Structure 1
Amino acid sequence: MTGAPSGLLVVTAVPAEAEAIRAGLPDPATTVLPVGVGPAVAGAATARLLALAEVAGRPYRGVVSAGVAGGFTGRVEVGGMVLGTRAVAADLGAESPEGFIPVDELGMPPELLGGGTSIAADPELLAALYAALPDATLGPVLTVNTVTGTAASTDALRRRHPEAVAEAMEGYGVAVAAMHAALPFVELRTVSNPIGPRDRDAWRIREALAALTTAAKALA
């Protein structure tokens, strides 16, 4: 017997992000769970949650990767909200004397690349969230394994991804899990710090978590 579909699955990296979202969540049908840090663990854990829900006959309607992020200066302010138009695996590829080469430009068979290094957000889910959060900044969100912490690496990311607005560590992995489950995906982030030279004193985690609570109203 197949049960009624569940609501959205919202996954975060850490419990504090999940708690911030639950604090502002108006819809009890929305599931919010922390799944771990980094694209590999986040993707694997999300895939398991989606598979278990499907086997139970209560598949989710869509997947949201949510949490705090670093924002590119001049594109989004600290404390601001971001809705990702694409999840981009920014450091998946190869170095060369001519510069970084994304993995989907290395000549591998397409079937080995899944969705490639850039997975678009579902347009309807993105539009629905943007309608509820009109002050959010739209743009690609980069997924990195190593958080950017120098001026040189920040400049390199800006050159390779001139439209990107933020960076985090889980979105691409979650997007791959959603894509394989044929479910809509979008990334929702609030900015805790500017991307650039590492400066813990400039981080505003509390403000970013408060912004997540405000943003949670859009997840109904």
Structure 2
Amino acid sequence: LVVCAGVAGGFQPGAPVGSLVVADDIVAADLGAESPEGFLPVTELGFGTVSHRPPDSLAREVAAVTGGLVGTVLTVSTVTGSAARAAELRARHPRALAEAMEGFGVAEAAGAHGVPVLEIRAVSNPVGPRDRAAWRIGDALAALAGAFGKLTPLLESWNGHDRTH
């Protein structure tokens, strides 16, 4: 199992600052091409993938143990800095709870080696207009550390198979 963890921006009001998000879908939000009709993900261009799904039961169990929210975590190559961009991402990905920059790459690497992946994010700031004074990175890292303290027994007992099947 590969675990990608860190801080993220949270889509409001679904993932408030200080909350923990456990990905049930890790999505490359801006991997594709612009067109006159709008954004086209690489899958619509006929190649690649834009999504990796962690084992369903594991994501749910991690969320239950840590008090986390379950939803989509977007991987972006440019962090959102405007309300318009936040709205555009939410329109394309209505289940998105958070955005970060590393998850999809980690999931691609894990998938290439046949290893399941889990992404856990602590929300340090709202997705949207950049307001560095409102960032709570220390609080988010503390929430993440607290979550990891609760994960050890669960991860030690997880057998690598989705127990819902």
* TM-score normalised by length of structure 2: 0.89
Larger radius of gyration: 1
**Equivalent in the alignment of 1:210:** 142
1:129 positional shift: 1.2
- Find 1:118's aligned residue among 38, 41, 51: 51
Higher relative contact order (CA 8 A, sep 6+): 2
AA aligned to 1:199 is D
Cα separation, 1, equivalents of 2:147 and 2:44: 36
**How far 1:88 sits from its partner (Å)?**
0.2
1:132 matched to 2:65: yes
SS in 2 for 1:104: coil
Deviation string 1:20-43 (CA, Å, 9 cap, x unpaired) is xxxxxxxxxxxxxxxxxxxxxxxx
Alpha-carbon distance in structure 2 between the residues aligned to 1:153 and 1:127: 29
Shift of 1:219: 2.9
How far apart, in 1, do the equivalents of 2:34 and 2:117 lie? Answer: 30
Aligned partner (choices 62, 84, 97) of residue 23 of structure 2: 84
**Deviation at residue 139 of structure 1 after TM alignment:** 0.3
Aligned position for 2:129: 197
RMSD across aligned positions (CA): 1.0
Partner SS state of residue 65, structure 1: strand
CA shift, 1:176, in A, is 0.9
List 4+ stretches of structure 1 deviating above 6 A.
none
Q: Which residue of 2 aligns with 1:97?
A: 36
Percent identity of equivalent pairs: 55
- Structure 1: 5+ residue stretches without partners: 1-61
Say if 2:32 and 2:42, in contact at 8 Å, map to a contact too.
Answer: yes
Instruction: Give the TM-score taking structure 1 as reference length.
Output: 0.67
- Tell me, in whole angstroms, the C-alpha distance in 2 between the residues paired with 1:90 and 1:126: 20
- Greater strand proportion: 2
Gaps of 5+ in 2: 153-165
Contact 1:125/1:185 (8 A) holds in 2: no
